[in-house]
Amino acid sequence: MCIRKFATIFMALAVFLGWLRNIDAADLAATPPNSIQDLYGDEIRFDVYRAGEKVGFHRVSFESDERGLSVDTVFEIEIDFLFFTAYRFAYQSRSLWIDGKLSEIEADVDDDGTPFRLNATADGNGFTVESSNGTVRAETPLFPTNHWNAAVLGQERVLNTLTGQVNNVAITPVDRVRVETERGDISATHFLYSGDLDTEVWYDDDGRWVKMRFKARDGSTIDYVCRLCQGPARDRAEQ
């Protein structure tokens, strides 16, 4: 009896893990960037928390024109100690996507007074990435570490827009959880970055980025909480 029960549990676990492995680029990454505004509308907004205290925000804006899809990202955090600002970080980037592929991206960073700049451009044979840390070449397709595009789930390397380096990563599904959004809690898949990056990202069943978590340099936990990530209001099946 115990053996039969153990076998049943083992089979169920195997099916569950197999299902998790299949939640990757085949489904969530199938949404091309040109339809991103159908998913998100014109903007995504997250509140950023450190050790449970709100310390900043992350905003992504989308605009389509005859060139393609322009994406502007702003991320700022400010950590206070007593009556002083102990640490400040500001990030801005603008990218252009043409026919669902990254064409160019530039980023500016102010890491508590230390500047960093990046500019990456596709030239037909790949990408030239010029940054404050030097110049590197990268093959296409190339996805930056901006996370709004779920097609990154099918990749094994990403452009780190904070360092200018191309990072080797494995992106694997971990579990299914409920995540807070502006429309209440929704079902989402939790993915783990490993390799050159250590980040956790959550996407809903339509491929929307709905949550993120990573470790700061001081070892504290940074959490992103969705304030606007579910796109235009419309009739949708209950998630």
% pLDDT > 90, the chain? 72
Asked whether the predicted pLDDT for residue 156 surpasses 60, the reply is yes
221-228 and 43-50 as β-strands: parallel, antiparallel, unpaired? Answer: antiparallel
Element (H, E) at 39: helix 36-40
Q: What's the fold here for domain 2-228?
A: outer membrane lipoprotein receptor (LolB), chain A (2.50.20)
Q: pTM of the full predicted structure?
A: 0.85
Asked whether the predicted pLDDT for residue 104 surpasses 60, the reply is yes
Q: Are 165 and 213 in contact (CB under 8 A)?
A: no
Which residue would you say has higher pLDDT here, 139 or 29?
139
Mean pLDDT to the nearest integer, 108-135: 96
pLDDT at 125: 86
What band does 27 get if pLDDT is binned at 50, 70 and 90?
A: low
Q: Which of 97, 200, 170, 196 is nearest to 140 (CA)?
A: 97
Phi, psi of 23 (to 5 degrees): -85, 80
Domain ranges of the chain: 2-228
Q: Which of 38, 42, 34, 36 is nearest to 68 (CA)?
A: 34
Q: Does 144 sit behind a cis peptide bond, omega within 30 degrees of 0 on the bond before it?
A: no
Asked whether the predicted pLDDT for residue 13 surpasses 60, the reply is no
pLDDT at 235: 45
Q: Give DSSP secondary structure letters for 167-208.
A: EEEEEEEEEEEEEEEBTEEEEEEEEEEEES--EEEEEETTS-
